[in-house]
Amino acid sequence: MIKTVHRIVWDDTYIAAAQQMMIDRQNWSLRVIYKWWGWWIPRVVVVVIIGGMAVAGVRFDGTFYAYIGGFLLLSLFGEYWTHRSLARARARNRNRGSTTTVSMSEGGIDMIGALSSSQLKWKAPRSISVKPDGVLLMMANLSGVWLPDAALAEGTPDDVRQLVAANRAEQN
């Protein structure tokens, strides 16, 4: 019987990595909002359009420069605000500073933390994503648990992937 145990320490590094994993699991439009290219591609497009218009000999007035300057300032402020709101969400995380133990076996998934404990059957996670450096258990659209390989206290990453693969096959 295979059993693995993850000990997750809810520090800034783990919370930031888990937050990024949750963002990556969201729909396309939310991922665009939180990724760097979602902010920089429109800025580059505006600069290319202005450059093309300048090469074509189009004359610009003060209002045009005001609109473009406003767009660039608002896009910079929006990016700052997004990073700030993500940092504030990490700072408000209720599990910060605690340790959660996640045990997985053929019987299910047991989670014991400072705020709760639960025993889940393998059907409980809405989806399970296997990443190169861990496993993401999504319980709902916006909540889940990131189980990095670095947090393994018992078992190996291969054991984790074997358990996930075996129990995913049973669900289908």
CA proximity to 16, closest of 127, 148, 152? 148
pLDDT at 51: 86
- The set of residues, in sequence order, having a beta carbon less than 8 Å from that of 127 and lying 6+ positions away, is 25, 138
Domain boundaries, the chain: 3-19+97-171, 24-91
Q: Which whole number is the average pLDDT over 81-93?
A: 90
Question: End-to-end distance of the chain based on CA atoms, in angstroms?
Answer: 22
Query: pLDDT tens digit string along 104-117?
Result: 999 899 999 988 89
Residue 171 clears pLDDT 70, i.e. is over it: no
> Which residue from 171, 28, 31 is spatially nearest to 108, judged by alpha carbons?
171
Max mean pLDDT range (26-40, 87-101, 132-146): 87-101
The CATH fold of domain 3-19+97-171 = PH-domain like (2.30.29)
pLDDT of residue 79: 83
Across the chain, what does the average pLDDT equal? Answer: 86
Q: What is the pLDDT of residue 67?
A: 86
Q: What percent of the chain has a predicted confidence (pLDDT) above 70?
A: 95
- Under 8 Å between Cβ of 136 and 148: no
The full DSSP string for the chain is --EEEEEEE--HHHHHHHHHHHHHTS-HHHHHHHSHHHHHHHHHHHHHHHHHHHHTT----HHHHHHHHHHHHHHHHHHHHHHHHHHHHHHT-TTTT-EEEEEEETTEEEEE-SS-EEEE-TTSSSEEEEETTEEEEESSSS-EEEEEGGGEEES-HHHHHHHHHHHHHHH-
pTM value is 0.73
Tell me what pLDDT residue 169 has.
62
Whole-angstrom distance, CA of residue 65 vs CA of residue 67: 5
